[in-house]
Amino acid sequence: MASSSQASLPLTAARASDLDNLVALEQRCFANDRLSRRSFRRWLESEHCVFLVARDGAALAGYLLVLFHRGTRLARLYSLAVSPDYRGRGLARHLILAGEEGARESGRFYMRLEVSSENRHAIALYENLGYKQFGLYQDYYEDHTDALRYQKRIRTVSDTAYHRAIPWLAQSTRFTCGPASLMMAMAALQPGYAPSTMEELRLWRESTSIFMTSGHGGCHPMGMAVAAYERGFPVEVWVNQEGPLFLDGVRDETKKPVMSLVHEDYRAALEAKAVPVHYREVRQDDLIAAFDRGDLPLILISTYRMDRKKAPHWVVMSGYDEACIYVHDPDPDGQGQTALDCQYLPLARADFEKMTSFGRSRLRTAVILSKPKVS
C-alpha cells in the first residue's frame, strides 16, 4: 500500500541493482516512448546526470532522470515516472524539486523539458512549479502528439533575455558545422534563403581550410565570409591573429604550406571585396553589440568542455542575458541530446572566454553577418 505522504519517501541515487525495477516501472507507466533497458544501464553509469529514485521499502515508487548538456549550463528533465499506486500525493513534485536542486549544485542555470500537449495534468504541475512554455515540437512522440517545450530558470540572475528567432539546422556530416551554422544565420537574416544539403556541401567546398588535425578540413572564418559575401550578405571577420590559422594542430609539415596558401587566398579575396577583417580579440561585448544591431555572429568554440576532444566547432549566437550567451549548435551529440537540446544553448558568460579560445595559439574568431541590402 502507498503511504499517506508520498512526498516524504526517501530519494536516493539510482543504483545498478535498480535496473530490473526501473524497467518494470517504465513498462507500467508508459505505453509509448519508453526508455530501454540499455538506456537505463547507460544512464546508471553516467556522471552527466541526476538519476533519483523514490523508495518505499523494496519497491520503487518513482524515478527522475535529469541530463546535463556538457559544456553548457543547461539541464534537461529527460524522464519522470511515478507508479500508479503512488500518484496524486506530491511525489512527482518532490522528485522534480530534488532534480532541480541537483542541477543547481552542478552549476546549471536552466531546466528544460518536453511534455505531451495531451498531458494536461503534467502541464498543470510544471506550470505550477514555475516552468514557462517557450516552444512547440510537432509530431514529437510515437503516437504523433506534439511536445510542448518548457523551461525554468533554476539559478536566478535576471529574467531579462534577448533572443532571436533562428531556424535550427543539423549538420549532415561530422565536418560541416561551419556551413550548417552559416545556413542558419542566412536563413534567419533573409527569409527567402533556402538551405539544403547540397548548399551545405557547396559552402564547405568554398570555405574549407583543406586540412585539419585529421580527416576532412574544417571551415576557415575568412572562407565562410567569402561564401556569405558571394550570396549577398554584408559580413565582417574578427580574428586575433594575422597569420595562417589552425597550423598548431597539424603534425604533417607538408600540409602547412598548403593551408598557408589557402589562408592567403581567402585574405586576398576579402581585401579585394573590401570586407572588413578586424585583427584583434572578439569579446562578449563585441558579439552582443552586433546582435543588438540585428546582425548574427558565427562563433568558433572549442568542444573540449563538451566532449574532451578539443575540436574546433562553429555555432550561431541566438541570444544573451546577464548570465549566458545562447547559441544554436548544429551538432546533436547522440548522448541523449536531440534537436531541442541544441537550440538556445546557454553558455555561461563566466566560461565563455575559455570556450572561445582554440588551440595552443588561443585562436579566437567570429564571422558576423548582416541582413542583405535592399537594392
Cα–Cα distance for residue pair 22/62, rounded to 1 Å: 8
Contact 138, 87 (CB under 8 A): no
Query: What pLDDT does residue 328 have?
Result: 94
Cα–Cα distance for residue pair 64/50, rounded to 1 Å: 8
In CATH terms, 177-369 corresponds, of 3.90.70.10, 3.20.20.60, 3.40.50.720, 1.20.1730.10, to 3.90.70.10
Query: What pLDDT does residue 333 have?
Result: 67
Cα–Cα distance for residue pair 316/180, rounded to 1 Å: 9
Cα distances (Å, whole numbers) of residue 239 to 10, 49, 272, 278, 363 = 53, 36, 18, 6, 7
Strand boundaries in the chain, DSSP class E: 11-13, 49-56, 59-68, 74-82, 110-116, 132-137, 147-153, 161-163, 235-239, 277-278, 296-302, 312-321, 324-328, 345-348, 365-369
Cα–Cα distance for residue pair 194/171, rounded to 1 Å: 15
To 10 degrees, what angle do helices 255-272 and 221-230 make?
40
Query: What pLDDT does residue 270 have?
Result: 97
Strand-strand pairing, 74-82 and 110-116? parallel
Classify domain 6-156 at the CATH topology level. Aminopeptidase (3.40.630)
Query: How is residue 259 written as a grid cell?
Result: 593551408
The separation between the first and the last C-alpha atoms of the chain, rounded to the nearest angstrom, is 74
pLDDT of the chain, 375 residues: tens digit per residue? 444 455 679 999 999 999 999 999 999 999 888 999 999 999 999 988 999 999 999 899 999 999 987 767 889 999 999 999 999 989 999 999 999 999 999 888 889 999 999 999 999 999 999 999 988 888 888 888 999 989 898 875 455 568 888 999 999 998 899 999 999 999 999 999 999 999 999 999 999 987 665 556 689 999 999 999 999 999 999 999 998 888 777 777 888 888 899 999 999 999 999 999 999 999 999 999 999 999 999 999 987 555 555 678 999 999 998 888 999 999 876 555 667 778 888 888 888 888 898 878 889 999 999 999 876
Cα–Cα distance for residue pair 300/67, rounded to 1 Å: 25
> 3-class SS at 48?
coil
Query: What pLDDT does residue 215 have?
Result: 57
Cα–Cα distance for residue pair 318/169, rounded to 1 Å: 13
Q: What is the residue extent of each domain of the chain?
A: 6-156, 177-369
* Same fold for the pair 6-156 and 177-369: no
> 3-class SS at 115?
strand
Contact 223, 208 (CB under 8 A): yes
Residue 37 DSSP symbol: H
Query: What pLDDT does residue 195 have?
Result: 96
Torsion sign, CA atoms 242, 248, 250, 251: positive
Query: How is residue 364 written as a grid cell?
Result: 579566437
